[in-house]
Structure 1
Amino acid sequence: MSQLWSSPKGSADSTPVRYAGRRFAQIIKLKPEFVAQYKEVHAAVWPEVLQQIKDCNIQDYSIFHDPETGILFASFKYVGSDFDADMENMRQNPKVREWWRMTDGMQESLVPGAKDSESGEPPWWRAVEEVFYTA
């Protein structure tokens, strides 16, 4: 991902300015036999995982489920200054990796060649393009 910070316009200062926020959306398929379990674990997300999400400058994180198609739709806002570094910090957290191993087994990636969340490339969740937004 490209750099998400810049110097104020006309400024020679190279001090990073916190990014005002970029919204992301992703999809994946939830295996039908895991619907109840997936909802159960997300009703009580581990505190270490929630803290890491916050520490990685992610806000307004939501996951929605369409029971007809099995699609999970996730959205969040990234407000940090270095998305790649923050995602690497997320990936380095042992509790997050444990969470991913648990939840990945309940999901079916829509990305050809994706192995799991921990691998990173190709991504486990498929990114989707925003085509409309109103604040």
Structure 2
Amino acid sequence: MQRMGMVIGIKPELIDEYKRLHAACWPEILAGLAAAHVKNYSIFLREPENLLFGYWEYHGADFAADMKSISDQDVTRRWWALCSPCQVPLPSRNPGEHWAGMALVFHMD
């Protein structure tokens, strides 16, 4: 299992919309994540800095293939079309990242 943390900004005027979308996350999105071996996925909001922190656990063996399986789904692209306008990617993110990955520095079971 691999623990993954990520961060992205959010437009303050679209926070309520982002919350509304995630309060009624489409079952097909959840099923796609589960099929890609993603578990324990959470998104936290930090105000007034307007940051989203995401955490998930990856339980698969081929991360690249599983992430491709998610991004190849039409339902995912439609979901991203709604969520992405709410987000503000960090200028310091790595090439190819939308959410900026974070390094795990401490974990306690």
| Unmatched 5+ stretches in structure 1 | 1-20, 115-120
Deviation digits for residues 44-84 of structure 1 (CA, Å, limit 9, x no counterpart): 10111010000000000000000110000000000001000
Q: How far did residue 122 of structure 1 move? A: 1.4
The correspondence for 1:89, drawn from 44, 69, 78, is 69
> RMSD of the TM alignment (CA)?
1.4
- Identity in percent: 32
In 2, are the aligned partners of 1:110 and 1:125 still within 8 Å (CA)? yes
Q: How far did residue 112 of structure 1 move? A: 5.2
Of structures 1 and 2, the one with the larger relative CO (CA 8 A, separation 6+) is: 2
Q: How far did residue 111 of structure 1 move? A: 4.0
**More helix by percentage:** 2
In 1, are the aligned partners of 2:93 and 2:101 still within 8 Å (CA)? no
Computing the radius of gyration from Cα coordinates, the structure with the larger value is 1
| Unmatched 5+ stretches in structure 2 | none
In 1, are the aligned partners of 2:3 and 2:58 still within 8 Å (CA)? yes
**More strand by percentage:** 2
**Across the two proteins, how many residue pairs are aligned to each other?**
109
Any runs of at least 4 consecutive aligned residues in structure 1 with deviations exceeding 6 A, and if so which? none
Once residues 67 and 40 of structure 2 are traced to their aligned partners in structure 1, the CA distance between those partners, rounded to angstroms, is: 16
